[in-house]
Amino acid sequence: MLKKRDLSIDSEMKNNMLPDLDRSLRIAIDGPAGAGKSTVAREVARRLNVKYLDTGAMYRAVTLKLLQKGIAPSALPQIERILQQTVLEVKNGQKVFLDGVDVSDEIRQPYVNNLVSQVAAIPLVRSMMVKMQQAIAANSSGIVMDGRDIASRVMPNADYKFFLAAALPERARRRRKEQLERGLELSLESVIAEITERDRIDSQRSDSPLVVDPEAIVIDTTAMSFEAVVERILEIVRAGPNIPLQ
């Protein structure tokens, strides 16, 4: 029996009054690299007092493991074996632990960026990640998940589906700024090249490619502030579900 959300618990929730849902709230946020999904999704989850899951971090962690073991994305039997021996944990939705070690910073390094889309295109890797993501969603009383295939595959019955888009130069500018804040100075050209290549592989793979789900609300964030994007999403969520509850 699914429970109604308890809307009476804290004052922040009162400011973010939600429609009375008879099952837990699930929000999917997809989009290309650097569209601001993770920062926006994390803040939306915080404001709604629900869980957040950064699914990209999971593909990044698997990629790091293959790099550590020197396994190429083409070595499928080896990948299967190594993944069966790997403990992947996501804490607080975004802290990622590989075999007990916090790799949250390392998975953002350029050598992971350059391989992650090839690893994420492997159907075996995808089915393992999707199973974990669906289990996390099933065990939460509400969740915001961001990625590439959340609306189309991981949570096809999500209450709200958003697709965040932004022009390539703006996405590259934001990603470069983020990297600078982490102490990594990259040229704008190299960031443009990296995210263009990732978008190409992510959109062209045969297993759950990056697509705009027909039910998704597209928000072009090019000229919008972070706060404006968060507010737009919250406004839509507060207005009530766009997908009939089952």
H or E segment to which residue 109 belongs: none
Our finding on whether 43 is near ligand CDP (CB under 6 A) is no
Our finding on whether 26 is near ligand CDP (CB under 6 A) is no
With contact defined as beta carbons under 8 Å apart, do 3 and 111 qualify?
A: no
Give the range of 92-100, 146-154, 211-219, 229-237 binding ligand CDP by CB under 6 A.
146-154
CA distances from 38 to 10, 28, 99, 112, 203 (A): 25, 11, 24, 17, 19
Mask for 168-207, x = binds ligand CDP (CB under 6 A): ------------------------------x---x-----
Q: Write down the least CB distance from residue 103 to ligand CDP, Å.
A: 13
Residue 120 neighbours by CB distance under 10 Å: 28
Task: Single out the residue of 187, 198, 45, 185 nearest to residue 117, CA to CA.
Answer: 198
Our finding on whether 34 is near ligand CDP (CB under 6 A) is yes
Residue whose CB is less far from ligand CDP, 60 or 65: 60
Which amino acid would we find at residue 105?
Answer: D
Residue whose CB is less far from ligand CDP, 18 or 199: 199
Coil/strand/helix, residue 33: coil
Residue whose CB is less far from ligand CDP, 55 or 140: 55
Coil/strand/helix, residue 165: strand
Our finding on whether 152 is near ligand CDP (CB under 6 A) is no
What count of residues does the chain have? 246
Residues in the site for ligand CDP, rule: CB under 6 A? Answer: 33-34, 37-38, 55-57, 59-60, 116-117, 120, 147-150, 198, 202
